[in-house]
Amino acid sequence: MEWNRKAMFGQYGRVVLLALCTTVLAAIPMLAQDNVPPPQDGPGTGQDMGGRMGRGNPEKMEERQLQMMTKQLNLTPEQVTQVKGIYADSDTQMKALRDDTSTAQADKRGKMRSIMEDRQAKVRAVLTDDQKTKLDAMQAKMRERRQERQDGGGDALSPPPQ
- For 95-137, write each residue's pLDDT tens digit: 998 898 898 888 889 999 999 999 999 999 999 999 999 999 9
- Domains of the chain, by residue range, sit at 1-32, 58-150
How buried is residue 136: exposed, middle or buried, by Cβ count under 10 Å (0-12/13-18/19+)? exposed
Flag whether pLDDT at 50 surpasses 50.
no
pLDDT, position 160: 52
Q: What is the Cα 101 distance to its own chain's centre? A: 24
pLDDT of residue 43: 46
Percent of the chain beyond pLDDT 90? 31
Residue 39 has pLDDT above 70, yes or no: no
- 134: phi then psi, degrees, rounded to nearest 5: -65, -40
